[in-house]
């Protein structure tokens, strides 16, 4: 079953001075919600409630990943080194392909510390781990209940991630994103993006692997772009 999700547009956050301001300013009631609740390789003894929310403006994608559960109130978060194996911790992930005609896709993974693990490639093998300079425009903000205020969002989460993806970051890898042409709109209604979203925890008290779009493989493997769902800009 091929999943579709519409991404709604919001007005540019012109008055926001940094990522925290953007996060606080967004009205999340405008975002369509999806759930990472597919047990492709389960059933598992532990099932957190995990959700994602997506919005965009002329120059950014805004992604909110949230999770709630017994082991998310004090989640495993031991990996702190850049490009470390955050999938060993309680982890939220998104895999995105910004050109549906290209096999290239981006994986963005992080734990409750906000430790980034970001890669690029066409499959699991041979992926490029991006450098700190290459990901400098990509913003990952860890959020925890009681510490961060979500505008118009009704979900009792334990922790999550706010990810701000600017076109300046994407243009490094997708040359068709033309930042110099003022008449060209890289983000336009009807544009399609291929993606999947995940909640996992390899070394957590109860290892688990949940997805948004189903994956038909014998063993857990998130690097399966053939099973990505479709996001459509509204």
Alpha-carbon distance of 24 to 179, in angstroms, equals 27
* pLDDT tier at 174, thresholds 50, 70, 90: confident
* pLDDT tier at 109, thresholds 50, 70, 90: very high
Instruction: For residue 184, give its domain range.
Output: 4-233
Taking alpha carbons only, the member of 7, 10, 5, 28 closest to residue 157 is: 28
pLDDT score of 184: 59
* pLDDT tier at 178, thresholds 50, 70, 90: low
pLDDT score of 148: 62
What's the DSSP call for residue 201?
Answer: -
pLDDT score of 204: 98
Taking alpha carbons only, the member of 9, 1, 2, 4 closest to residue 234 is: 9
List of E strands, 43-90: 49-56, 60-68
pLDDT score of 180: 59
Mean per-residue pLDDT, 142-150: 78
Domain total in the chain: 1
pLDDT per residue over 28-53, tens digit each?
Answer: 999 999 999 999 999 999 999 999 99
The SS3 assignment for 115 reads coil
Mean per-residue pLDDT, 156-183: 85
Alpha-carbon distance of 185 to 57, in angstroms, equals 11
> Is the pLDDT assigned to residue 212 strictly greater than 80?
yes
pLDDT score of 183: 57
The neighbour count for residue 75, using CB atoms within 10 Å, is 20
* pLDDT tier at 158, thresholds 50, 70, 90: very high
- Of the chain, the percentage scoring pLDDT greater than 70 comes to 91
pLDDT score of 177: 76
The SS3 assignment for 67 reads strand
Residue whose structure tokens are 């979900």: 155
Q: What is the mean pLDDT of the chain?
A: 91
pLDDT score of 25: 87
CATH number of the domain enclosing 192: 2.60.40.1190
Mean per-residue pLDDT, 216-228: 96
pLDDT score of 62: 95
């Amino acid at each position: 079953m091929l999943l579709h999700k519409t991404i709604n547009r919001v007005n540019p956050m012109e008055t926001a001075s940094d990522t925290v301001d953007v996060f606080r300013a967004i009205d999340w009631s405008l975002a369509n919600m999806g759930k990472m609740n597919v047990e492709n390789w389960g059933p598992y003894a532990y099932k957190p409630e995990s959700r994602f929310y997506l919005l965009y403006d002329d120059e950014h994608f805004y992604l909110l990943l949230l999770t709630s559960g017994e082991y998310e109130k004090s989640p495993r978060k031991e990996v702190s080194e850049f490009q470390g194996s955050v999938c060993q911790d309680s982890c939220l992930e998104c895999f995105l392909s910004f050109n549906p005609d290209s096999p290239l896709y981006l994986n963005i993974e992080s734990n409750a510390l906000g430790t980034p693990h970001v890669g690029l490639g066409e499959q699991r093998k041979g992926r490029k781990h991006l450098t700190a300079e290459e990901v400098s425009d990509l913003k990952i903000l860890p959020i925890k209940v009681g510490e961060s205020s979500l505008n118009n969002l009704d979900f009792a989460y334990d922790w999550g991630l706010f990810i701000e993806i600017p076109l300046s970051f994407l243009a490094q890898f997708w040359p068709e994103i033309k930042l110099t042409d003022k008449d060209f709109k890289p983000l336009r209604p009807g544009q399609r993006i291929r993606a999947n979203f995940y909640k996992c925890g390899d070394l957590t008290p109860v290892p688990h692997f949940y997805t948004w779009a189903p994956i038909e493989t014998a063993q857990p493997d998130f690097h399966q772009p053939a099973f990505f769902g479709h996001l459509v800009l509204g």
